Structure 1
């Protein structure tokens, strides 16, 4: 255990809430947020300020520029993927969460093109990345990293399918690559799929995360709803 007592923080008012995300949970060790699509998780060469990491760093300083409070990056989501992000409040907590990350349960929702022949299954391959940062599957295990993705069809329409996805490994762009290679790319995926006229965003959402708290080792599950826009595209009413 890293500390003696876990202190749960109150959710901030709308006025003081960090823009582009909703705080699902916060204590002295971690912050769990629901990030909007379109917000970078971390900074890039082109964008430093409009990121979840920068905004949360400013939030934990509570307006005090001299404050030493800060958040640490545990994992990432693509800019256009919405959903659950976890940040640590110390280097020690960051290391713990990253060391244990593979043991945590992660669920996503996605809307994809077409209807899958198998309504439930797994996609397994070895993923590699080329010089222009495009990820793809290879057969040689020595040339890629093992990636395993489970899926289940929740609802189908004439053109699209809503999937619940279990992420068994956490490789870069894993879900998007596996679904594209299965010829059912995620809607709105301009890199691994195609440009979809009228689709407002990448239809991928990190919906649920189960982890063990770094202080108490308590199992904690954070859930979010299927985005309304996802439901609308397949007429999902559950």
Structure 2
């Protein structure tokens, strides 16, 4: 696709990101960064992604509000935000966050190919994961420094991380918490115990958003990030996640695991800037005939 650029003339010294925000009449910083990182900016006819590029009076900046088409064409991965240090994506169900074997298809592989095609000298560093069949928001680091900061300070950097789940039946309580100790057996099945069984302590908060009697849309917030935590805790409540072939009851109204990481808020590992991301409720989760509770 041929991009259509609007030309702007620099009249006073400032950094490129600030210039874009000003030129586009107060567009949000995250939107300005998305345009810049997506390849939609040229300075003196040269493409640039450098946020802190110092502009001089007399220079010409060209900005396209459209993102170049075809840079990442994947039914499994959608870029939500990107800058030189991190990339936030929305993962579709059916793809691993990272490879479990040398040949496994995964988000990291998709992103590394995208970086190569867009001539970025970086690779995707895994910071956290979602199960293969869980969809939603993930952040990957593009530099080792960003990876180390995110990995070692994850609990302090992440300010809000929530999921949506379509679960079987109608919960008797509209909100509450589930706590237990989770431990895997030799077959990698996670067992839950109300007392310490030598496993890892897990705490999940839930809130019912809608129900139609047969199913309920539930928002979940994790105090701990244990393997299979949501799926096991919803099973503990007697209302397993729909489409869960491992911990479910066979209820599968939408033909997939009905679990989606819809909100991810965190501080940027390099700048400390608060970043907030949220995705719409997946179509199959919406309970079209449901009543708001």
Asked if 1:209 corresponds to 2:237, the answer is no
Deviation readout 1:76-98 (Å, 9 max, x if unpaired):
10111100011001222112112
- The two structures, once aligned, show a CA RMSD in angstroms of 2.4
Higher relative contact order (CA 8 A, sep 6+): 1
Give the superposition deviation at 1:236: 6.8
Q: For residue 196 of structure 1, report the CA deviation from its aligned partner.
A: 3.2
Q: Counterparts of 1:146 and 1:133 in 2: how far apart (Å)?
A: 17
Alignment of 1:1-238 (within 5 A): 8=33, 9-10=37-38, 12-19=67-74, 20-45=76-101, 47-48=103-104, 50-62=105-117, 68-103=121-156, 104=158, 105-141=160-196, 143-196=198-251, 198-232=253-287, 235=290
> Deviations 1:167-223 (Å, cap 9, x if unpaired)?
111111100010011110000000011333553110000000111101111111111
Q: Is the 8 A contact 2:235 2:248 kept in 1?
A: yes
Provide the rounded CA distance (Å) in 2 between the counterparts of 1:155 and 1:198: 16
CA contact (8 A) 1:102 1:169 kept: no
Gap runs ≥5 in structure 2: 1-15, 18-31, 40-66
TM-score normalized by the length of structure 2: 0.73
Aligned mates of 1:24, 1:143 — CA distance in 2: 39
- Give CA deviations for 1:70-128 in whole Å, capped at 9, x if unaligned: 11000110111100011001222112112222231201100000111111011111111
Does structure 1 conserve the Cα–Cα contact (< 8 Å) formed by 2:126 and 2:140?
Answer: yes
Task: Kindly tell me the number of residue pairs found equivalent between the two proteins.
Answer: 231
More divergent stretch after superposition (12-21 vs 51-60): 12-21
TM-score by structure 1 length?
0.89
1:53 alignment partner, SS class: helix
Q: Secondary structure at the match of 1:39?
A: coil
Q: Distance in 2 between matches of 1:82 and 1:179?
A: 17
